Amino acid sequence: MPAPFPARVDALGFIGLGVMGEPMCANLARRCGLPVHAYDLAPAPLARLGEAGVHAAASVEAVGEAADIVFLCLANPEQTEHVAAALARARQAGARPGVLVDTGTTGVRAARELAARLAEAGILYVDAPVARMREAARDGTLSIMVGGSAEAYAGLAPYLRCMGSDLTHCGGTGAGQAAKVLNNMVLIQTVHALAEALAIGRGLGLDGRVLFEALGLGSADSKALRMQGLGHLVPGDFPRGAFSSAYARKDLGLALDAAAMAGVDPAGARTTASLLDAACVAGYRDDYYPVFIKLIERANQ
Work out the percent of the chain whose per-residue pLDDT is above 70.
98
Are 168 and 183 in a shared domain? Answer: no
- Amino acid identity of residue 196, one-letter, is E
Residues forming a β-bridge with 39: 15
Determine the Cα–Cα distance for residues 5 and 26; give it in Å rounded to an integer. Answer: 24
**Residue 1: pLDDT band by 50, 70, 90 thresholds?**
low
In this structure, of 198-207, 210-219, 274-283, 292-301, the range with the lowest mean pLDDT score is: 292-301
* Whether the predicted pLDDT of 2 surpasses 80: no
More confident residue, 107 or 6: 107
Residues forming a β-bridge with 124: 99
What total number of domains does the chain contain? 2
The residue out of 172, 196, 217 marking a domain boundary is 172
In a domain, 124, yes or no: yes
The CA–CA distances, whole Å, from 111 to 84, 86, 129 equal 11, 16, 11
Are 190 and 110 in a shared domain? Answer: no
> Mean pLDDT in the chain?
95
**Residue 97: pLDDT band by 50, 70, 90 thresholds?**
confident
Are 75 and 189 in a shared domain? Answer: no
In a domain, 4, yes or no: no
Domain of residue 19 covers 12-172
Are 295 and 202 in a shared domain? Answer: yes
Are 19 and 168 in a shared domain? Answer: yes
Mean pLDDT, rounded, for 69-95: 91
250 annotated active-site:
no
In a domain, 74, yes or no: yes
The residue out of 118, 142, 172 marking a domain boundary is 172
Per-residue pLDDT, 92? 82
* Whether the predicted pLDDT of 301 surpasses 70: no
- pTM score, two decimals? 0.93
Report yes or no: 108 and 261 within 8 Å, Cβ to Cβ. Answer: yes
- Amino acid identity of residue 136, one-letter, is A
Q: What angle do CA 224, 228, 231 make, to 5 degrees?
A: 125
Catalytic residue, chosen from 180, 223, 250, 294, is 180
In a domain, 128, yes or no: yes
More confident residue, 298 or 301: 298
Per-residue pLDDT, 95? 64
Per-residue pLDDT, 94? 75
Q: What angle do CA 282, 287, 290 make, to 5 degrees?
A: 90
